[in-house]
Amino acid sequence: MKQTYISEIGKHEGQKVTIRGWLYNKRSSGKLHFLQVRDGTGIVQCVVFKGDVSEEVFGRSDAATQESSVVVQGVVRADKRSAIGFEVGVTDLKIVQAAQEYPIAKKDHGVGFLMDHRHLWLRSSRQHAILRVRSEIVKACRDYYDERGFTLVDAPIFTPTACEGTTTLFETDYFGEKAYLTQSGQLYMEAAAMAFGKVYCFGPTFRAEKSKTRRHLTEFWMIEPEVAFYDLNDDMDLAEDFVAYVVARVLANRRPELLVLERDVAKLEQVQKPFPRISYDEALAILKEHGVDVPWGEDFGGDEETMLANHFDRPVLVHRYPARCKAFYMKGDPEDALKALCVDMLAPEGYGEIIGGGQREDDLETLERKIEEHGLPKEAFEWYLDVRRYGSVPHAGFGLGIERTVAWICGLKHVRETIPFPRMLERLRP
RNA sequence: UCCCCUGUAGCUCAAUCGGCAGAGCGAGUGGCUGUUAACCACUAGGUUGUAGGUUCAAGUCCUACCGGAGGAGCCA
């Protein structure tokens, strides 16, 4: 008999179906066994009544252990007591494999234990919901650019040089030469934008920073659009429209998962265009109102970002930071040489920076001077300078960190749950 | 790299002033025809992270190391 997925079970009321999955939990009451069976699309209660099945089937049901793989046959019936409105009256049960004693119990576990068992933790309903939201976010990101004439141009993972300095990169041996795992595809996207106009890349990036916070991973995913002939304002328009679109998609397609996560959906529904846009100088003024005095030229710490974000009910764009706390390729503000034409987007509710980007320096001589000022080896950037030698145009782009975005939309305390197998300062396995 | 907390049964935790290592969950056995982290009864389960030290006596105090957690800094 053909397999029926639990998500489709309501269409089969009164029919005999076959469900293949795993035993999520079991309760029993003498002659009745209540098997909670999950198949990846949902969980359904399968009721085994001693009077309805053979001695063998009832015995197998009695002996079935948590997370054993099973094939259940039975009749779908509506039941008001069920969370999904239906249950299955079992007629036959086969055990594909009888699971050993399952390490993850129904009650409390510490984070360390759960992270050690991440490969099994993925089966729990909460982790399941988070990764379904992540999947939707990734799809929404791709759809957004694909539907707007962008071309996906994948950036390399192995890179010969750092964007700026080598202290935060993972070094590898590349046939006797030093290579680094990429920390951004941006420089390659700039070259690609001059070929295709509108491009994006989406892939993993790596940072060897010894950061031990709820917002950091050593391996995380980033989507980086880059557009020829865009200035800073175009860039901010794009970032705002993009983030509003992604949030709307999750609200449209993943509400049940947000419910499982007990996310305050009203806060997400407020994420509508336009987003507030403030300059770095205005941000300093807001911080001062809250009694925090950041000297001009300093970057914001986590507390300051949270304070700024809490000032608004939706993501806020902060633009024109001091040039000295930004990368060499950022274009200087023509109205104030001390400032860069850059923008960060801070997520609400203390989730921090989810986007960083800006307009790039498009003048050859200025860029050469900046590379020198930053003490970077010019020969390594010759190919990048070529982009300015042959038909340079104003252009801009940004990078959005997927994990911080997932953490924000799901309302999670820590980014470690937003990626299937997180890589962190003290954690490489499983 | 720094600061702080922490390590006791498979898991989550308790153990008063340094004085008999205990509970819940999970597991096993038995019971129960509507359970929703089911419930009830019984059973098993321990080199208290490791190595030293102080003491009549250390899970408890001290030192070092190892693991875990939170925070800071770092962080296109």
Q: What pLDDT shows up at residue A203?
A: 95
- The whole-angstrom separation of Cα A99 and Cα A96 is 9
The residue type at A209: E
Separation of CA A264 from chain center: 18
Tell me if residue A102 falls in helix, strand or coil: coil
ipTM value for the complex:
0.88
CA distances (Å), origin A192, targets A117, A150, A226, A409:
41, 11, 8, 31
User: Which nucleotide is nearest, taking the CA of residue A325 and each C1'?
Assistant: B76
Contact by Cβ (8 Å): A298, A284: no
A178 touches strand B (CB under 7 A): no
DSSP state of A124: S
The residue type at A324: R
Contact by Cβ (8 Å): A93, A102: no
Burial tier of A417 (Cβ tally within 10 Å: 0-12, 13-18, 19+):
buried
A31 touches strand B (CB under 7 A): yes
Separation of CA A24 from chain center: 26
Contact by Cβ (8 Å): A90, A73: yes
- The whole-angstrom separation of Cα A408 and Cα A306 is 13
Q: What pLDDT shows up at residue A345?
A: 96
Contact by Cβ (8 Å): A28, A11: no
Beta strands at A32-38 and A16-28: parallel, antiparallel or unpaired = antiparallel
3-state helix, strand and coil shares in percent for chain A, rounded to the nearest 5: 35, 30, 35
First to last CA, chain A: 37
B26 C1' to A107 CA distance, Å:
9
**A344 closest CA partner among A278, A268, A418, A281:** A278
Q: Residue A408 is encoded by which pair of tokens?
A: 């924000």
- The whole-angstrom separation of Cα A316 and Cα A121 is 34
A224 touches strand B (CB under 7 A): yes
Q: How many CA atoms lie within 13 A of A59 on its CB side?
A: 3
A256 touches strand B (CB under 7 A): no
- The whole-angstrom separation of Cα A411 and Cα A408 is 5
- The whole-angstrom separation of Cα A422 and Cα A430 is 9
Q: What pLDDT shows up at residue A50?
A: 92
A301 touches strand B (CB under 7 A): yes
CB burial of A247-267 (b: ≥16 within 10 Å; e: otherwise) equals bebbeeebeebbebbebeeee
Residues 32-91 of A with CB under 7 A from strand B: 32, 34, 45, 47, 49-51, 65-66, 79, 81-83, 87
Residues 100-119 of A with CB under 7 A from strand B: 101-103, 105-113, 115
For B12, nearest residue by CA–C1' is A108
Residues 123-152 of A with CB under 7 A from strand B: none
What is the torsional sign of CA A317, A322, A326, A328? positive
A306 touches strand B (CB under 7 A): no
CB burial of A294-319 (b: ≥16 within 10 Å; e: otherwise) equals eeeeeebeeebbbbbbebbebbbbbb
Q: Mind listing the pLDDT tens digit of every residue in chain A (430 residues)?
A: 689 999 999 999 999 999 999 999 999 888 999 999 999 999 999 999 999 999 999 999 999 999 999 999 999 999 988 989 999 999 999 999 999 889 988 778 889 899 999 999 999 999 999 999 999 999 999 999 999 999 999 999 999 875 555 458 888 889 998 889 999 999 999 999 999 999 999 999 999 888 888 999 999 999 999 999 999 999 999 999 999 999 999 999 999 999 999 999 999 999 999 999 999 999 999 999 888 888 898 888 888 999 999 899 999 999 999 998 888 899 999 999 899 999 999 999 889 899 999 999 999 999 999 988 888 888 889 999 999 999 999 999 999 999 999 999 999 989 999 999 999 988 888 8
Domains by residue range for chain A, with CATH? 6-97 (2.40.50.140), 118-418 (3.30.930.10)
B20 C1' to A108 CA distance, Å:
30
B34 C1' to A264 CA distance, Å:
33
A388 touches strand B (CB under 7 A): no
A374 touches strand B (CB under 7 A): no
User: Which nucleotide is nearest, taking the CA of residue A207 and each C1'?
Assistant: B75
Secondary structure of A277-324 as H, E, C letters: EEEHHHHHHHHHHCCCCCCCCCCCCHHHHHHHHCCCCCCEEEECCEHH
Q: Which nucleotides of B are covered by protein (CB under 7 A)?
A: 1-2, 10-13, 24-28, 31-39, 67-76
φ, ψ for residue A139 (rounded to 5)? -65, -40
